[in-house]
Structure 1
Amino acid sequence: MKNFIQTALIFLLVLSSCFAQQEKGIIGYNNWLDSWTEFKPSQPDYGEPTQILSGKITKDTKLLKRDVYLLLGDVFVTDSATLTIEPGTKIIGDFDSKASLIISKDARIIAKGTETDPIVFTSSRDNKKPGDWGGIFILGDAPLNTYGELASLNYGLRPSSTENIAYGGFNIESNSGVLKYVRIEFAGKRTKKYGYLNALTLAGVGNKTIVENVMVSYSAGNSFNILGGSVILEKLVSYRSKSNDYEFNYGTQCQLINSLAVRSPYISSANGSRTLVVKSYDNKEEADTSKRQTFVNAENLTLLNVSDDIKSDMEMGLVQEAIYIGADASFAINKSVLSGFYPAVILDDMIKLNNENLEKIQFTRTYFNNCKGNIFRKGYTNNDDLESWYGSRAFDNLYAKGSDAETFIDVKSSRNPDFRLQVNRIIASNDFIDDDDDDDD
């Protein structure tokens, strides 16, 4: 009996240890990237467009799977109209007119694809490249931290009325529609005056808007650009962006859950780009300090720099930090994986290292792998205090130097990669029991 009890205790200890290891990074009983994602987006041929989208959409409109749509110029959905897109529909962004789709704040988009039939926005060119077309802008009336109630997009868009590019308000529960099982490829055109557009911009978007299972690939601008609002983002993928994967600004109150960013040192912009940028403002004079400043609550992220020789790429200056946190912004990340960065995190030099500020920046139960330095302050060569603070056992962070093959299940597959964490051959999952209701009663 004594031996049985000892064996049982050892088994339970090992089992609990395994479960503790499984919860970091993107999670799922199965690989949720399967079926709807595309890691070689230049290869599919969707055929010639059969319909054209241009100008303004002012009444409820439905795009059908049987057609291929050419998005021509700046297309605005306005006048409380709803643009509905059937699962499997393909929308081609015109290269010559640098097409963009703008959902004004009184309008909605219902782009509800399925796992086996995603909706695809891509480039019109045969030889597709980042920045071939503009991107998607969704505008809502949720709060910002700027002075005044409203702001407007400054990306060189050409609306018939400034109301069509205005965003912001007081409605935290603003509903701009649904983006689910959607791919956005080769967006982020460059404008002479305003720089790069972003693949998906959510401006003043509220928490009734659903944004889940959205993949952005090969964007020249930011993959996901969040300006104010109060939005919940889940199961997002940013793949090989030239600019930032996720950028948050203007007082956004955001949850980012179970999401992925895969970077390449050979594609990232030489001007500097990160997986996450968390800011409250571009210029402090623009921010109303009486309003809530940016807060991002992130959980189960996998932020990965894929490299054939990460050490050599670091020495050549091709690798940068994963996360940048600006002054007056709050950030919490939990149960996540950061792999292959130099360093993992940079805090803005305007952030004073005191208890008040450190309490606003939380790293807990996070796995730092193959990072040359973990949490630094911009411009400071001695970051021992920060490393010691976040290295405390109280935060339960882990540090390792494993290869990608040792760390993740399968990052080499070009068709069906699996970026879930692999520790001692154990899949990272929070679904230990199949809880599907299979009972016949």
Structure 2
Amino acid sequence: MKKSLHVIWITLVMVCTANAQQEKGIIGYNNWLNNWTEFKPNKIEYGEANQILAGNISVNTKLLKRNIYVLQGQVYVTNNAVLTIEPGTVIIGDADTKGTLVISKGASIIADGLETDPIVFTSSKGLKKAGDWGGIVILGDAPINKFGGISSITYDLNPALTIYGGQNVESNSGILRYVRVEFAGKKVRGSTAMNALTLAGVGNKTVLENVMVSNSGGDSFAIIGGELSLSKFVSYHSVNDDFKFTQGTQCKIFNSLAVRSSYVTSNKDGSRCMEVISYDKKEETDFSKKQTLVTASNITMLNDSQNISADIQSGLVKEAIYIGSDAALEIKRSVVSGFNPAVILNSQIEINDKNLKKIKIEEMYFNMCKGNIFTEYNSNNEDLENWYGNSIFFNVYSQTDNNETFIDIMNPKRPDFRIKLGKITAASGKF
């Protein structure tokens, strides 16, 4: 009898624990941001570099935790070489030479940090700011939707060593896990800013988990073509997009976070949490190939302003998500808090059943947004409200202060961006 009661008690505890986890936005029984993330990276002193990384790396190479490396100029890993980085290693991007690490097609990077010992890429400057150095570029031979099936990254890099794209969906560019990238995204003369982390033509055998980009001068994460899965990705105060998807990528992103600021990020035109497009130039696009499809779940996107309503009124806040023509987005169980509006569809997207079935927005929690889903340049969103407001999609909205919505976003060392229990159930069930 006692044994039976013990089994029943364990079962009840397990059920209650499962029910205690909020289903929308980032999830986890514990705050998975603890230990490896850093929301005040300009306050951290990493020490002086004692090793130089420069030129081409054409043989298998290992970077050791006991050293601090300075990334000088354009460093290319080529010739199918593997660059392995020990947990806890610090690599400093040189600001004067626009330090940039490029993993060429066929080569790979094994940057497999630990929760308690992450790998850090950061700025060489004493007073660090967004765009101090270049960034990280990883190139694979998975499909893209450009004519010819291959392309090359620009940004004043060597075009012969920045080719990406091919037919290998299972392309393996290595591992990025428990990695931080800080203050990257340097402006390129005659071009836009670089991205902190560019993933171009990356295939589905590549492991991409627990990666944080903070204070990027360009996009935090640029996903260009390829087929890949991202989990526990964090973008904090990026000047441009947090997540940009283009060139026919087939990308799944789960349990990830984008935090924007009215005075750093959201006031810039074309700067969003998530931009989902199929191409940069339509005339270069092969429409017989797959166009961009992003499948997103349990994403939290928020503006951390202390006065969102005033910032929206002042025109400092833009939309959180932008969806281009010919692209598809399936997003569910996610949170959008503090934007104007939550979602914008490209003006070329006709509002009809065919197109709306490519844009699935379900089980969402829209909070503190001035409007939900609109077509670009059109203030009348009645058709979209009627469609996505249908009860079968389970979308809800609220006007609750961020401090009351999230567990603890003001904690400077260990913020917690999970939704407080009960907040969604207390929100309006209507769109």
1:20 deviates by 9.3
Determine whether 1:177 maps to 2:177. Answer: no
Between 112-121 and 189-198, report the one with greater CA deviation: 189-198
Determine whether 1:167 maps to 2:173. Answer: no
Matches within 5 A, 1:239-278: 239-268=236-265, 270-278=268-276
Tell me how far apart the structure 1 counterparts of residues 223 and 423 of structure 2 sit (CA, whole Å).
36
**1:340-369 deviations in Å (ceiling 9; x for gaps):** 000000000000111110000001101000
1:150 maps to what in 2?
Answer: 150
**1:157-209 deviations in Å (ceiling 9; x for gaps):** 1x3xx431100000001000000000000000001122100000000000000
Tell me how far apart the structure 2 counterparts of residues 49 and 22 of structure 1 sit (CA, whole Å).
43
Give identity over the alignment, percent: 58
1:265 deviates by 0.4
Matches within 5 A, 1:212-231: 212-231=209-228
Q: Secondary structure of 1:219's partner? A: coil
TM (normalized to structure 1)? 0.91
**Residue of 327, 343, 346 corresponding to 2:344:** 346
Cα distance change, pair 317–109 in 1 and its aligned pair in 2 (3 A): same
2:269–2:318 contact (8 Å) kept in structure 1: no
1:156–1:193 contact (8 Å) kept in structure 2: no
Tell me how far apart the structure 2 counterparts of residues 421 and 368 of structure 1 sit (CA, whole Å).
12
Tell me how far apart the structure 1 counterparts of residues 296 and 61 of structure 2 sit (CA, whole Å).
35
Q: Secondary structure of 1:142's partner? A: coil
**Residue of 367, 386, 389 corresponding to 1:388:** 386
Tell me how far apart the structure 1 counterparts of residues 146 and 303 of structure 2 sit (CA, whole Å).
34
Tell me how far apart the structure 1 counterparts of residues 354 and 177 of structure 2 sit (CA, whole Å).
38
Tell me how far apart the structure 1 counterparts of residues 35 and 421 of structure 2 sit (CA, whole Å).
25
Divergent runs of 4+, >6 A:
none
2:341–2:369 contact (8 Å) kept in structure 1: yes
2:8 maps to what in 1?
Answer: none
The number of residues matched between the two structures is 410
Determine whether 1:403 maps to 2:406. Answer: no
1:323–1:344 contact (8 Å) kept in structure 2: yes
Between 1 and 2, higher relative CO (CA 8 Å, sep ≥ 6) is seen in 1
TM (normalized to structure 2)? 0.93
Q: Which amino acid aligns with 2:220?
A: S
Q: Which amino acid aligns with 1:120?
A: V
Tell me how far apart the structure 2 counterparts of residues 254 and 343 of structure 1 sit (CA, whole Å).
24
1:4 maps to what in 2?
Answer: none
Determine whether 1:291 maps to 2:289. Answer: yes
Tell me how far apart the structure 1 counterparts of residues 162 and 203 of structure 2 sit (CA, whole Å).
16
2:351–2:383 contact (8 Å) kept in structure 1: no
**1:246-270 deviations in Å (ceiling 9; x for gaps):** 0000000000100000000010153
Tell me how far apart the structure 1 counterparts of residues 422 and 251 of structure 2 sit (CA, whole Å).
33
Determine whether 1:238 maps to 2:235. Answer: yes
Tell me how far apart the structure 2 counterparts of residues 23 and 322 of structure 1 sit (CA, whole Å).
20
Unpaired runs of 5+ residues, structure 1, are 1-11, 428-441
2:92 maps to what in 1?
Answer: 92
